Structure 1
Amino acid sequence: RMDQAVLLVRNELPEQGFILAFLSGSCHQCLYQFLAFVPPSNSSMGKPGTVLVTIDTQHPVTLLLNGSVGDLCKIQYHFGEFGNYSLVVKNTSTKTVSCDLVINEAPVNSYLPILFAFLVYVGMLAVLVVGRLCMKIDAVRNWVYKKLNLRKPDHLINSELGSPKPADSVSHDPSPRLRSAGSRQRLRSLDTFRGLSLIIMVFVNYGGGKYWFFKHESWNGLTVADLVFPWFVFIMGTSISLSLSSILRRGSSKKKVLGKILWRSLLLILLGIIVVNPNYCLGPLSWDNLRIPGVLQRLGFTYLVIAALQLLLTRPGAESGTLETRCPALQDILPYWPQWILILLLEVIWLCLTFLLPVPGCPRGYLGPGGIGDFGNYPNCTGGAAGYIDRWLLGENHIYQHPTSAVIYQTTMPYDPEGVLGTINTIVMAFLGLQAGKILLCYKEQHNQIMSRFLIWSMGMGILSAILTKCSKEEGFIPINKNLWSISYVTTTSCFAFTLLLLMYFLVDVKRLWSGAPFFYPGMNSILVYIGHEVFGNYFPFKWKMQDSQSHTEHLVQNLTATTLWVIISYLLYRKRIFWKI
């Protein structure tokens, strides 16, 4: 099967069987798990005891052979996918036990499909770029329109009539017009950032080719899949700052704006509950097992808190930079001190609940996965205080039943990664995005100031992450953990977010070396693309029956096709000027 190898264990020890156990390299402080009992060899018939087992190939594993007199040997190895191996256990001439691992059939390189897909997309991009550059040449454009029997663009007709004025020319592509006309009102880099986060999210949710690094980390740590949700939250905070500033400048009252904020939050929460409880073919939804938390629900509540903070606690003149402060270098921070106090208070609440709340049967401040983690001492403590609060407030039947820790750590307790306690740090993440928006407003058109501050914030978050984690996956004060939405997870992903926004702002809005395509288009229709990919994910042409469901290649082709289709759909909607806003 996919992500597995075959291991034939040959026991040539006379009259001594042993237990074969394994431990995944991604399972921190875990108990060895029973794999098989290997019988002793039959000396009278000259046949060794044999057992055929399958081994996980996603992570390195440790094999432990335990006999009646103790451990016979221990082997650490990273098996390859579809590989065929033999483990020969026998006595040596010195009467010691030897364990020899033999490769019978070489594994396949399961990463070649990713490389091929990357080259295909790079090739397509190169063709588009070269084609766009060639179309700027009058002779080439003339020839193309003549061969395709298309109407010549207006600026060529004007040229033939003797009035080749640049002001009279009209481009056949509407995007540059929109860019030049709307660049003063809307930063393309923000939509590009949002679109990139969304497209990676769609690809990951569709399966990511079934590669482990496109799945969420089982507990502590970070994968590609763990980056996209916080990035989306971050850019939502940035957009809140810019949109509220624009709305208030147009003369809208705060009471009216607050009503819109409440309505939009309610819609997001309701849509989220519908999306995470798909039951289209099984009759009406039942309250008995309705999942309450979810991605859109958390986005809706976070939006409500951050937008209300920005609306009600922003002093006049703070966003334009005209408000006098004692330290001009901090004019994007000091005028917002009430917001900072509230956010810091929220973080203190998260820290107190996480590390001081008594959880029955669990050590205080427990951050582990439970199950077989921590040597199996706390099997029912998954998520510590975060899991306990969700089960107490919402009930076990109303939270996520299949947490990512279930496979590696064999946890049996339900745990929701979009639970109540983690929402606090989601608000902190959005507030950091809000800070990016404040920088854009305070230093409008001052590109060097904006980029330098993005860089400073990125470095600050990175240093704070290094302190909290001790630059370690498991041994830090507060490990990076997406399930818990730990504060180190927020500082780490915000470090990357500030860096990515800096690069996009420089390339798209400052130097204009990149239009933001193709990510710009889904970024302009993010709610529609997200809900659409959730609702129609199991329907053709986004999904179809595979010939070989155990092939990374087929899964990758299907997932990339589905993701690309949503990019194309968002582009067509953009051309038709259709945008779904809540």
Structure 2
Amino acid sequence: MSQSLGPQRLYSLDALRGFDMFWIMGGERIFHALSKATDNPFWNGLSHQFSHPDWNGFRFYDLIFPLFLFIAGVATPYSVGRQLEKGVSRQKLLWRVIKRGLILVVLGIIYNNDLRIQPISEMRFGSVLGRIGLAYMFANIIYLYTKSQRSRMIWAGSLLLGYWIILLCASAPGFPAGDLTIEGNFASYFDRLFLPGKLYVNNIHDPEGLFSTIPAIATGLLGILTGGFLKNSSFSPAAKAARIFVTGAILIVIAQVWNLVFPINKNLWSSSFALQVGGLSMVLLAIFYYIIDVKGYKKWAFFFVVIGMNSILIYMSGHFIDWKNTTNAFFEWLIQLSGDPYGAVAFVFCYIAVKWAFLYFLYKKKVFLKV
């Protein structure tokens, strides 16, 4: 979500958002292409990290989606918080937050189903943008109506513990309490009952379903807590970076312990998964913040900032722009010169370059899609 942070804007946050979106706009294809071209164990291993586990487990690619939600949370104290400080009423900000959340839900439905007219039973309503929209919305509502970091921390902890307790004590009919299989877990059963349309996995489970949005709200709150600390803490910038890094490392350790009884699982957005990705997001933010905003090394990050400033646009663009044909139109000669098996690798780099050039043009023209 591209939000303006105004005069206090964190360049590192735009860069981190762009780093996150880089993998979605095609960066992961680099490793897949190199793995296929070389069959080298090193590239094979990296390629493996840019895929999702079937159920339990964690790979780097699982971080990309929740990192975006975390970043949206970090921006909240700088955007919504600044409006509160200016005297804008909570009710006005509430409707603004709800509108943003619902727009993202609608964009997610469009992303899944295009603009085709079709029966509701054939549509998929769960989506990445929908999950971000709902989790962002509820996390921001909590932010608006709580007055302290402590209260928000209690909310985040309660959501994670409550979700765990429900999944521990309940299940789908015919399965033992606490069943965490794809068919037997309560979250999937809830979505089969209440989420309209079709579910993503064989119509029995949706990784962006309704019930598993509960712990995702906590992911957004972790971002809000981090943003509040960055904005309001009296610590020096370097000390802030260090404390965020250490806190992230602690959350990762807690996630590994929780994993023993509540497996790290992106499909369920398990509480251990929420802490794992929250901790990793903090570690990444601390590194970006320290290098860019504390030490002042900004030039290297410009590539990512251009992406981060139009993150929603580039995510949606594949439904309206044929990037493959556009890339071939400009660079088919280079891809042919590269030959087999490296022509596919050359294509990926050209594919990313074409997208980035498009975003750079919009950046120079100051054209940004904001929700």
In structure 2, relative to structure 1, the CA distance for the partners of 1:207 and 1:451 (3 Å cut) is closer
> Does the CA contact (< 8 Å) of 1:234 and 1:494 recur in 2?
yes
Offset at residue 483 of structure 1 (A) = 0.9
Show the counterpart of 1:524.
309
> Does the CA contact (< 8 Å) of 2:30 and 2:349 recur in 1?
no
Offset at residue 563 of structure 1 (A) = 2.9
Q: Which of 297, 317, 330 is the matching residue for 1:513?
A: 297
In structure 2, relative to structure 1, the CA distance for the partners of 1:552 and 1:237 (3 Å cut) is farther
> Does the CA contact (< 8 Å) of 1:204 and 1:215 recur in 2?
no
Where do 1:466-481 residues align within 5 Å?
Answer: 466-469=256-259, 476-481=260-265
Q: Deviations over 1:5-49 (max 9, x none)?
A: xxxxxxxxxxxxxxxxxxxxxxxxxxxxxxxxxxxxxxxxxxxxx
> Does the CA contact (< 8 Å) of 1:209 and 1:559 recur in 2?
no
CA distance in 2, matches of 1:284, 1:250: 44
Alignment partner of 1:236 is 2:72: yes
Show the counterpart of 1:288.
121
CA distance in 2, matches of 1:365, 1:542: 49
Look up the SS of the partner of 1:414 in the other structure.
coil
Offset at residue 458 of structure 1 (A) = 1.2
Show the counterpart of 2:237.
447
Alignment partner of 1:193 is 2:16: yes
In structure 2, relative to structure 1, the CA distance for the partners of 1:209 and 1:463 (3 Å cut) is closer
Where do 1:374-389 residues align within 5 Å?
Answer: 381=183, 384-389=185-190
TM-score (norm 2): 0.84
> Does the CA contact (< 8 Å) of 2:195 and 2:209 recur in 1?
no
Q: Which of 193, 196, 208 is the matching residue for 1:392?
A: 193
Show the counterpart of 1:248.
84
Q: Which of 422, 425, 429 is the matching residue for 2:219?
A: 429
Show the counterpart of 1:502.
286
> Does the CA contact (< 8 Å) of 1:201 and 1:225 recur in 2?
no
> Does the CA contact (< 8 Å) of 1:399 and 1:414 recur in 2?
yes
Q: Which of 321, 324, 346 is the matching residue for 1:536?
A: 321
CA distance in 2, matches of 1:350, 1:423: 10
Where do 1:100-179 residues align within 5 Å?
Answer: none
Offset at residue 578 of structure 1 (A) = 1.1
Show the counterpart of 1:438.
228
CA distance in 1, matches of 2:149, 2:174: 42
Q: Deviations over 1:53-104 (max 9, x none)?
A: xxxxxxxxxxxxxxxxxxxxxxxxxxxxxxxxxxxxxxxxxxxxxxxxxxxx
CA distance in 1, matches of 2:117, 2:30: 28
Offset at residue 447 of structure 1 (A) = 0.9
- Corresponding residue pairs, total: 346
Offset at residue 553 of structure 1 (A) = 4.5
Q: Which of 198, 204, 209 is the matching residue for 1:419?
A: 209
> Does the CA contact (< 8 Å) of 1:209 and 1:557 recur in 2?
no
Show the counterpart of 1:100.
none
Q: Which of 119, 126, 136 is the matching residue for 1:303?
A: 136
What letter is aligned with 1:514? Answer: K
CA distance in 2, matches of 1:225, 1:277: 24
In structure 2, relative to structure 1, the CA distance for the partners of 1:537 and 1:479 (3 Å cut) is farther
> Does the CA contact (< 8 Å) of 1:350 and 1:424 recur in 2?
yes
Q: Deviations over 1:463-503 (max 9, x none)?
A: 2022113xxxxxx2122211111111111122211111111
CA distance in 2, matches of 1:205, 1:534: 19
In structure 2, relative to structure 1, the CA distance for the partners of 1:423 and 1:353 (3 Å cut) is same
What letter is aligned with 2:79? Answer: S
CA distance in 1, matches of 2:360, 2:128: 24
CA distance in 1, matches of 2:199, 2:28: 19
Bigger mean CA deviation after superposition, 562-571 or 303-312? 562-571
Offset at residue 433 of structure 1 (A) = 0.8
In structure 2, relative to structure 1, the CA distance for the partners of 1:385 and 1:204 (3 Å cut) is farther
Show the counterpart of 2:100.
264
Show the counterpart of 2:38.
none
> Does the CA contact (< 8 Å) of 1:208 and 1:215 recur in 2?
no
In structure 2, relative to structure 1, the CA distance for the partners of 1:445 and 1:189 (3 Å cut) is farther
CA distance in 1, matches of 2:305, 2:249: 27
**Unmatched 5+ residue regions in structure 2?**
34-46
CA distance in 1, matches of 2:180, 2:312: 33
Offset at residue 542 of structure 1 (A) = 5.3
CA distance in 2, matches of 1:559, 1:487: 35
Show the counterpart of 1:30.
none
Q: Which of 322, 337, 341 is the matching residue for 2:150?
A: 337
Look up the SS of the partner of 1:541 in the other structure.
helix
Offset at residue 207 of structure 1 (A) = 9.0
Alignment partner of 1:276 is 2:61: no
> Does the CA contact (< 8 Å) of 2:152 and 2:225 recur in 1?
no
In structure 2, relative to structure 1, the CA distance for the partners of 1:420 and 1:543 (3 Å cut) is farther
Offset at residue 456 of structure 1 (A) = 2.5
Look up the SS of the partner of 1:398 in the other structure.
coil
What letter is aligned with 1:526? Answer: S
In structure 2, relative to structure 1, the CA distance for the partners of 1:488 and 1:564 (3 Å cut) is farther
Offset at residue 445 of structure 1 (A) = 7.3
What letter is aligned with 1:454? Answer: I
Which structure's CA Rg is the greater one? 1
Q: Deviations over 1:149-190 (max 9, x none)?
A: xxxxxxxxxxxxxxxxxxxxxxxxxxxxxxxxx995211000
Which structure would you say has the larger RCO, counting Cα contacts within 8 Å and 6 or more residues apart? 2
In structure 2, relative to structure 1, the CA distance for the partners of 1:258 and 1:339 (3 Å cut) is same
Show the counterpart of 2:32.
209
CA distance in 2, matches of 1:212, 1:414: 26
What letter is aligned with 1:216? Answer: H
CA distance in 1, matches of 2:112, 2:280: 28
Look up the SS of the partner of 2:290 in the other structure.
helix
Structure with higher strand content? 1
What letter is aligned with 2:124? Answer: R
In structure 2, relative to structure 1, the CA distance for the partners of 1:440 and 1:462 (3 Å cut) is same
> Does the CA contact (< 8 Å) of 1:209 and 1:553 recur in 2?
no
CA distance in 1, matches of 2:61, 2:279: 16
In structure 2, relative to structure 1, the CA distance for the partners of 1:241 and 1:428 (3 Å cut) is same
> Does the CA contact (< 8 Å) of 1:206 and 1:537 recur in 2?
no
Alignment partner of 1:458 is 2:248: yes
In structure 2, relative to structure 1, the CA distance for the partners of 1:494 and 1:580 (3 Å cut) is same
Structure with higher helix content? 2
In structure 2, relative to structure 1, the CA distance for the partners of 1:288 and 1:482 (3 Å cut) is same
